[in-house]
Amino acid sequence: MPSRHDRTQTIAEGLLTVRIPNMKKEDGKETDVPKGYRFSVAAAGIKYEDRPDMALIYSEREAAAAGVFTTNRVKAAPVVLDMKRIRSSTARAVVINSGNANACTGPRGMEDAEAVCRHAAERLSVPVEHVLTASTGVIGTPLPMERVRRGIEELTGGARAGVEDVARAIMTTDRFPKVASKRVKAGGTEAVLTGVAKGAGMISPNMATMLCFLMTDLAVERKALDRALKETVEGTFNLITVDGDMSTNDTVLIMANGLAGNAPLTEGSPGYESFRDALFELADELSRMIARDGEGATRLIVVRVRGASDHADAKRAAFSVARSPLVKTAVYGRDANWGRIMAALGYSGASVSEERTDISVNGIKLVGNGLATGRDAEAAESMKSGAEVVIDIDLNLGPGTERVYTCDLTEEYVRINAAYRT
């Protein structure tokens, strides 16, 4: 493994030499990385110029692996391939590219995705069945395989990068790289969980693709890993919405290589809950980053619903508010427009009793028992500063609670997504 203080390196792509600066997280902190993972990036020129657009995550040892994928019926080739490969619950490497989604590319798209994995497997001397792949970018255009092949050669050429470089290489319209890590003590063993993600930032003609790659040096039994990942995604990445569009390419993968030295965790292990909680916190942090970085967004919006008849109703209500373009534009306008929140609750499909509903924004109560409290101006003022707007809704009907992250809707969102293809 390279020193985490020495990530500056030179990548040669044809005649182009790109200097990649040391990419720490935005807050300047170093990211903890679990043992036994190596990273590299390459500037293959798939679509973007002068920046890395391919990344490799490589585990020195066979890792238990699990994945969660888009439920869109139109799935990109790498998603279809990974869904098949992940059945073995084992992985050694993930090859990722930005700039081209390899979606809606027919049989050729599948051949290309397979060729990506095969080429990487040969270069890494690992079984092709243990190489996963993910793509994000232009839809309907075949991968430029010559460039991709050169990129893979570079990825596997020995030069190493940091995990933040991976986060940066997979960005499309993301405004900042998304990387987080958690230290965990699971059943007496100190270990690390680290994740990189790219957001539902869409650049014309890209899709809203969410990619996330999670790794740990814990040993986790395959079934327990799968279960923990699915539960985590349900409570984190599946509770964010930027614009309601769902990608053909969404992928969340986790690898657990066991280099921390613990006995493999099962659902009954004493350390399992610590692992699961750390995984949840990690994914929660990454999912907040994705929502905050929604295209054109100026505020993260946290919609919290309680008092719903049941959990399903709480989720319906929270998503209805979080998806409402009227609520999202009101937040952008710093307008504590509770009428739009009330209307979104009303059409959510959840049981709602207007005269029982309470609504607060940033802790300022705007509606009590369905009626205005007259504090709108105060709440509007509170929205003018800070990175987040918290909307609390109490339906006062039952025990259901849920929380959804979203962002405001701005002219910039429209500009980004209305841009001509280049």
**Active centre residues (catalytic):** 209
- Min dist CB 82 to its own copies, Å, is 17
Determine if 387 is a binding residue for its own copies (CB under 8 A): no
Interface with its own copies (CB under 8 A), residue total: 66
Query: CB-based contacts of 130: which residues, under 8 Å, 6+ apart?
Result: 62, 85, 88, 90, 91, 92, 93, 121
Candidates 326, 396, 398, 401: give the one binding its own copies (CB under 8 A).
Answer: 326
Identify which of residues 165 and 408 has a Cβ nearer to its own copies in the complex.
408
Determine if 247 is a binding residue for its own copies (CB under 8 A): yes
Query: CB-based contacts of 383: which residues, under 8 Å, 6+ apart?
Result: 299, 331, 334, 335, 336, 361, 362, 389
Classified as helix, coil or strand, 105 is coil
Alpha-carbon span 372 to 4, nearest angstrom? 54
Identify which of residues 85 and 323 has a Cβ nearer to its own copies in the complex.
323
Identify which of residues 6 and 411 has a Cβ nearer to its own copies in the complex.
411
Identify which of residues 9 and 309 has a Cβ nearer to its own copies in the complex.
309
Candidates 244, 261, 270, 399: give the one binding its own copies (CB under 8 A).
Answer: 244
- Min dist CB 336 to its own copies, Å, is 9
Answer yes or no: are the C-beta atoms of 57 and 77 closer than 8 Å: no
Query: CB-based contacts of 79: which residues, under 8 Å, 6+ apart?
Result: 69, 70, 134, 248, 249, 250, 251
121-129, long-range: CB within 8 Å, 24+ apart, which pairs?
121/93, 123/152, 123/153, 123/156, 124/58, 124/92, 124/93, 124/156, 126/92, 126/93, 127/92, 129/85, 129/88, 129/90
Alpha helix stretches (DSSP H) within 236-348: 272-292, 311-323, 325-332, 338-346
Candidates 355, 363, 385, 387: give the one binding its own copies (CB under 8 A).
Answer: 355
- Min dist CB 362 to its own copies, Å, is 17
Determine if 339 is a binding residue for its own copies (CB under 8 A): yes
- Min dist CB 181 to its own copies, Å, is 31
- Min dist CB 99 to its own copies, Å, is 14
Determine if 106 is a binding residue for its own copies (CB under 8 A): yes
Identify which of residues 52 and 294 has a Cβ nearer to its own copies in the complex.
294
Q: Which two tokens stand for residue 92?
A: 């050694």
Candidates 83, 104, 115, 159: give the one binding its own copies (CB under 8 A).
Answer: 104
Determine if 205 is a binding residue for its own copies (CB under 8 A): yes
Determine if 208 is a binding residue for its own copies (CB under 8 A): yes
Alpha helix stretches (DSSP H) within 350-407: 376-382
Query: CB-based contacts of 10: which residues, under 8 Å, 6+ apart?
Result: 17, 18, 19, 20, 159
Instruction: Please give the residue ranges that form the binding site for its own copies (CB under 8 A).
Output: 71-75, 101, 103-106, 138-141, 202, 204-205, 207-208, 243-248, 323-326, 329-330, 332-335, 337-340, 342-347, 351-352, 354-355, 367, 370-372, 376, 380, 409-411, 413-415, 417-421
